[in-house]
Chain A
Amino acid sequence: MIPEAYYLALSAVLFTIGVAGVLVRRNPLVIFMSIELAVNAANLALVAFGQRSGGAEGQALVLFVMAVAAAEVSVGLAIIVVIFRARQRLSIDDLSLLRW
């Protein structure tokens, strides 16, 4: 039985790498994939905490997160495709239209 703290540490490292990817990369697709990485790290932490109760609540929540992530990815990729069609470029630095 592996201690819960190991899973949490791995989850923290993966989450940080995901956040760093969002901050560093310029390609919106890669930024999106980094977000998926962070979501997965959160899932791992959720499952690790769910082991505590012994029930299946953690697993159920992770299944919901997966469904939400699937919806999020499909809508997000559609938005990226629309942006690409409108601008013919895909750099995140061009997308400052909504910036204050």
Chain B
Amino acid sequence: MALAAFLLIATIAVAAALGLVLKRNPIHGALFLVVNLGSIAALYLLMGYEFLAFAQVIVYAGAIMVLFVFAIMVLIPGKEETGPDPRRPWRLLAGPLAAVLLLELVVVVAARRAAPAAPPPPPGFPAGLSILFTDFLFPFELTSVLLLAAMVGVLLLARRRA
């Protein structure tokens, strides 16, 4: 049962990823990416990590994709990929290169040592992720500084110079 669900979700994720890469219109690509991020959130749920799944939906499928769609609406791209490709031979090389990368990854995954018997997944936020406030407290605080720095930087970059 869980395996069937995994295979279904994985198929949707791969199809949506292919749609992002192959579809010409960036807004279609953005919607495909939302589907892909949602299916990964479903995989997190399948593993029993509810908090991660909701964070994925809120942060990625919510905040980040809204930003992308805004950017697409503001810039109205789409004309870039019409007309002759000035670097066509190089782009044709991308397929074989990606195939080599996939081969490498599969070899690495296949060659790794088998996992020890997996213990049951830890519970959600209250017990498991409280390490965010103990062991990982410093990176956690650092993250807030990073987000603040990013916000100030974006304001500076996007400001219209009068």
Residues of A within 8 A of B (CB): 1-2, 4-10, 12-21, 23-27, 29-30, 32-34, 36-37, 40, 43-44, 47-48, 51-52, 54-57, 59-60, 62-64, 66-75, 77-82, 84, 89-93
Nearest-neighbour CB distance to chain A for B64, whole angstroms, equals: 5
**8 Å CB contacts to A: which residues of B23-60?**
26, 29-30, 33, 36-37, 40, 43-44, 46-47, 49, 51-52, 55-56, 59-60
Considering the chains assembled together, what is the distance between the CA atoms of A32 and B72 in angstroms?
A: 12
Instruction: Tell whether, in the assembled complex, residue B37 and residue A62 are in contact, meaning their CB atoms are under 8 Å apart.
Output: no
Closest to B99 in A: A16
- Which residues of A are found within 8 Å of B143, using beta-carbon distances? 64, 67-68
Instruction: Tell whether, in the assembled complex, residue A13 and residue B102 are in contact, meaning their CB atoms are under 8 Å apart.
Output: yes
Closest to A33 in B: B33
Q: Which of A9, A67, A68, A80 contacts B109 (CB 8 A)?
A: A9
Closest to B127 in A: A56
Give the contact-size bracket for chain B.
35 or more
Nearest-neighbour CB distance to chain A for B107, whole angstroms, equals: 10
| Nearest 8 Cβ contacts at the A-B interface | A56-B128, A23-B94, A71-B150, A12-B105, A54-B119, A20-B98, A21-B21, A78-B157
Considering the chains assembled together, what is the distance between the CA atoms of A24 and B140 in angstroms?
A: 36
A–B Cβ pairs within 8 angstroms, 29 of them: A1-B118, A8-B109, A9-B106, A10-B14, A13-B17, A14-B17, A16-B102, A17-B21, A21-B20, A23-B91, A24-B21, A33-B26, A34-B21, A36-B33, A37-B17, A37-B20, A47-B44, A54-B119, A54-B122, A59-B52, A60-B136, A66-B59, A68-B143, A69-B60, A73-B64, A80-B75, A81-B71, A90-B75, A90-B77
A interface, over-half SS:
helix
Nearest-neighbour CB distance to chain B for A3, whole angstroms, equals: 8
Closest to B110 in A: A5
Indicate whether B147 reaches chain A with its CB closer than 8 angstroms.
yes
